[in-house]
């Protein structure tokens, strides 16, 4: 019989960010949730176009496929309008106890900039940036003032286009898991970013506010023995320090977040 869990009474929905370099167990963590919570429905928005979910559900998580509690939405990382409409559609349909998963959020920041450039300049962002670089070269020293995007004219519009995505993924009654790739923390990162992520040396890749979107932020790593899980931020819960990650649902939801296990009985 499968094991499922229920949150502590009065606990608000989970809001979890998992970030780490490629191949550090983020997708496995999501599917362990679907395995251990068979009576919850998982709306998985896959933006990396790698088909990793389809393959993993067909192999090592075949029980998840048989249970049928996942809906996979595959969105190309370049397709900003489809990503926004897909997330909005899931937001409207999700119910309490269900989970929205966005794996990964990182491509969405590039996607919105691509879309903006195509709409405003009528060309791809690659061609646009190349043209700016050529202009700088021709202008010589005067080219120092040739910026690809202007602070008010461009960035304010790009951010206003992007922030509805944050609204759609957070304003619903279900639980949320988002993933992101990891970038090294740089000298240009602000104090707030350094205060939170400085001890770990990595930050979530993508739009800079992504790391402050959830109450729970966890960093995944990999060594020769397997995956590791560390807490970056987790209000009111015990911190994890490179804990060996085998079953995210049991290790995090049950042992750290206080979810209570109970037997699951399939509907007749």
- Give the predicted TM-score (pTM) of the model: 0.88
Distance CA(263)–CA(67), nearest Å, equals: 15
pLDDT recorded at residue 52: 83
**In Å, how far from its chain's centre is CA 70?**
17
Encode 188-214: b = buried (16+ Cβ within 10 Å), e = exposed: ebeeebeebbeebebbbbbbeebbebb
Ordered strands of the 216-223 beta sheet? 70-74, 42-46, 99-103, 175-180, 15-20, 216-223, 226-234, 243-245
Q: Which DSSP state fits 12?
A: P
User: Is 14 within 8 Å of 211 (Cβ atoms)?
Assistant: no
Sequence spans of domains, the chain: 3-108+176-263
Q: What distance in Å separates the CA atoms of residue 105 and residue 214, rounded to the nearest whole number? A: 13
- Residues 252/175, Cβ–Cβ less than 8 Å: no
Kindly indicate the confidence band of residue 184, based on its pLDDT and cuts at 50, 70 and 90: very high
80 and 112 Cβ atoms separated by less than 8 Å: yes
Q: Residue 145's pLDDT band (boundaries 50, 70, 90)?
A: low
pLDDT of residue 224: 86
Whether residue 253 is predicted with pLDDT greater than 80 in this model: the reply is yes
Write the pLDDT tens digit of every residue in 227-240.
999 999 998 899 99
- Report pLDDT digits (tens) over 193-248: 888 888 888 999 999 889 889 999 999 999 888 899 999 999 889 999 999 999 99
Q: How far apart are the first and last CA of the chain?
A: 14
Say how far apart CA 260 and CA 253 lie, in whole Å.
Answer: 9
Q: Would the pLDDT of 151 be above 60?
A: no
How many C-beta atoms surround the C-beta of residue 130 within 10 A? 12
Per-residue pLDDT tens over the stretch 17-57: 999 998 899 999 999 999 999 999 999 999 976 668 888 99
Fold observed for domain 3-108+176-263: Rossmann fold (3.40.50)
Predicted confidence band at 1 (pLDDT cuts at 50, 70, 90)? very low
**Quick one: which of 218, 209, 168 has its CA closest to 190?**
209
């Amino acid at each position: 019989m499968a094991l499922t869990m229920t949150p502590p009474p009065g606990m608000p929905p989970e809001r979890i960010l998992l970030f780490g370099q490629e191949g550090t167990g983020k997708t496995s963590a999501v599917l362990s949730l679907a395995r251990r919570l068979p009576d919850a429905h998982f709306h998985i928005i896959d933006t990396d176009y790698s088909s990793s979910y389809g393959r993993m559900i067909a192999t090592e998580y075949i029980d998840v496929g048989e249970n049928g509690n996942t809906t996979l939405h595959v969105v190309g990382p370049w397709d900003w309008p489809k990503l926004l409409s897909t997330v909005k559609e899931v937001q409207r349909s999700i119910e309490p106890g269900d989970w929205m998963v966005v794996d990964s959020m990182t491509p969405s920041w590039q996607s919105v900039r691509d879309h903006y450039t195509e709409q405003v300049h009528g060309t791809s962002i690659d061609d646009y940036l190349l043209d700016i670089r050529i202009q700088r070269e021709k202008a010589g020293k005067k080219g120092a003032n040739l910026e690809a995007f202007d602070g008010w004219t461009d960035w304010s519009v790009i951010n206003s286009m992007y922030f509805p995505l944050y609204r759609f993924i957070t304003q619903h009654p279900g639980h949320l898991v988002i993933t992101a790739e990891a970038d090294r923390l740089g000298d240009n990162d602000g104090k707030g970013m350094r205060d939170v992520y400085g001890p770990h040396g990595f930050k979530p890749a993508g739009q800079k506010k992504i790391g402050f979107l959830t109450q729970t932020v966890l960093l995944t790593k990999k060594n020769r023995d397997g995956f590791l899980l560390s807490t970056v931020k987790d209000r009111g819960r015990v911190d994890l320090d490179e804990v060996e990650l085998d079953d995210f649902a049991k290790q995090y939801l049950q042992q750290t977040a206080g979810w209570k296990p109970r037997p699951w009985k399939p509907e007749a």
